[in-house]
Structure 1
């Protein structure tokens, strides 16, 4: 026989168990609808990744819409318990960041797919339950956008690494110092520009749709000069000014002769368009000395 003190100890647990059972049985109609639309369709069929906070809010809104009852006090842990019992194929993952809500997804989801389908990593619950209750077509569109974003990031990053390697392998100008007019022209400019970089910029600006890396794509002459100019700036920038290009030398030398201003040349250099004032001055001096030598040989 239980004593009074034992009753006082047991009754709270009986009451708690009763309340838990009652809460789990509450909103049964809305819960079944919630499981069909959100859990089965979104998580198990579409293989999406959602947060527990999103699921709880979606359930609360569904109860409000279908039963006209405010279920805002319905605890998240109770919903998780019901889902874990009814859907053993679900996985629950708590991120290391404390401000990020627990993630829910199908346990069969691969790691690569899981990364693609991860919600906004900011940690804020920006996705409202109304978004979870959209039509299947809207859901599919949103899911595709998320996948495309991650795929685009990987594609662009891979392309950047590929171009970085090309730029690193580009030898730059191979002519002896000082380069003369035979070395500083449009034809020679193309030799310091990797095919991949030139073709990529041509594709970006829509000048061609020829998908090849076997040769420089054919584009209009006026556009060719502009693309070649930008490519040389990238070559110069990627080498931190160690690899000179026909443009960096010719433009700097031309501006020096036209203006005689070291400030203008330095400004263009800081913008990545031409060589430094010291390099331009050295080139001008070397060309003058070369001219004197050639004159003395002819005389």
Structure 2
């Protein structure tokens, strides 16, 4: 026979169990429709990856549309429990980030497919249910939108580290000071640019689809000059101006001779296009001295 103190514990437990069973059985018609349209079609057939927050929102909106009842108090854990019982082929994954909602997908989904189908990590959990009930054609349109996945981030970051190492290992101009016209030209410019950097920019702008790092890819001459120019800017910027390039010296010297303006040279330097005014002035002086030495030798 139960004592009064035992009743205090048993009655709340019975009441809680009753409410859970009642909540699970609520909105049965909407739940069946939700399972057919969202779970079976989107998750099991289309192999999509959705968040629990999205599924709960879709279910609440479906109840509102079909039964005219506000189900906003329906708990997410109850919906998950019903889905886990009715669809053992579903997998539930909780990301390590606390602000990212639990992911739901078919357990047969491969890792590669899972990465490709991951929702936008910056997306909110309040995605409208209308997005979940779109037609297949709408789904295809949505998938073609540019969304960055974790795998994209890892790929880009790995590529950046690879290029950073290449730039660090690039010696820069190896000619003695001052460099002359033999050292400041297009041919010499290519020697200070890593193959990986040059080819990457060529791929980015669509000038070639040749996947190689064994040699500089072959692109049109006018595009070649532009890519080489941008690459030299990156080499100069990555070294914080310590590694001069044929472009940084030639452009600075040319602007000085054409305008004589230190302000213009300094502006171009701040934009990363040429050497500083002091470096340009030092180069001009050294070239003048070299010319005098050569003239005196000939005389």
TM-score, normalised by the number of residues in structure 1:
0.82
Higher mean C-alpha deviation, range 98-107 or range 237-246 = 98-107
Shift of the alpha carbon at 1:245? Answer: 1.2
Higher mean C-alpha deviation, range 198-207 or range 26-35 = 198-207
Shift of the alpha carbon at 1:260? Answer: 2.8
> Secondary structure of 2:149's partner?
helix
**Contact 1:53–1:125 (Cα < 8 Å) also in 2:** yes
**Contact 1:101–1:123 (Cα < 8 Å) also in 2:** no
Shift of the alpha carbon at 1:9? Answer: 6.1
Shift of the alpha carbon at 1:179? Answer: 1.0
1:218 and 1:14 map into 2 onto residues whose CA distance is 77
**Contact 1:99–1:123 (Cα < 8 Å) also in 2:** no
1:244 and 1:210 map into 2 onto residues whose CA distance is 29
Shift of the alpha carbon at 1:73? Answer: 3.3
**Contact 2:189–2:232 (Cα < 8 Å) also in 1:** yes
Shift of the alpha carbon at 1:129? Answer: 1.3
> Secondary structure of 1:145's partner?
coil
Q: How many residues align?
A: 299
Q: What are the Cα deviations for residues 137-172 of structure 1, in whole angstroms up to 9, with x where unaligned?
A: 433553565777555544444443343333233222
**Contact 1:116–1:150 (Cα < 8 Å) also in 2:** no
Alignment RMSD: 3.2
Distance 1:297 1:45, change over 3 A: same
**Contact 1:50–1:104 (Cα < 8 Å) also in 2:** yes
> Secondary structure of 2:147's partner?
helix
**Contact 2:120–2:147 (Cα < 8 Å) also in 1:** no
> Secondary structure of 1:126's partner?
coil
Shift of the alpha carbon at 1:298? Answer: 1.6
**Contact 1:172–1:192 (Cα < 8 Å) also in 2:** yes
Distance 1:92 1:225, change over 3 A: closer
**Contact 1:117–1:147 (Cα < 8 Å) also in 2:** no
**Contact 2:53–2:76 (Cα < 8 Å) also in 1:** yes
1:149 and 1:99 map into 2 onto residues whose CA distance is 16
1:6 and 1:298 map into 2 onto residues whose CA distance is 115
**Contact 1:244–1:275 (Cα < 8 Å) also in 2:** yes
1:3 and 1:194 map into 2 onto residues whose CA distance is 83
Unpaired segments ≥5 residues, structure 2 = none
**Contact 1:89–1:107 (Cα < 8 Å) also in 2:** yes
Shift of the alpha carbon at 1:183? Answer: 1.3
Unpaired segments ≥5 residues, structure 1 = none
**Contact 2:115–2:151 (Cα < 8 Å) also in 1:** no
Shift of the alpha carbon at 1:66? Answer: 3.3
**Contact 2:189–2:228 (Cα < 8 Å) also in 1:** yes
Higher mean C-alpha deviation, range 48-57 or range 244-253 = 48-57
1:213 and 1:7 map into 2 onto residues whose CA distance is 77
1:287 and 1:214 map into 2 onto residues whose CA distance is 36
1:191 and 1:135 map into 2 onto residues whose CA distance is 54
1:97 and 1:135 map into 2 onto residues whose CA distance is 31
Q: What are the Cα deviations for residues 42-73 of structure 1, in whole angstroms up to 9, with x where unaligned?
A: 33444433222221221122223334443333
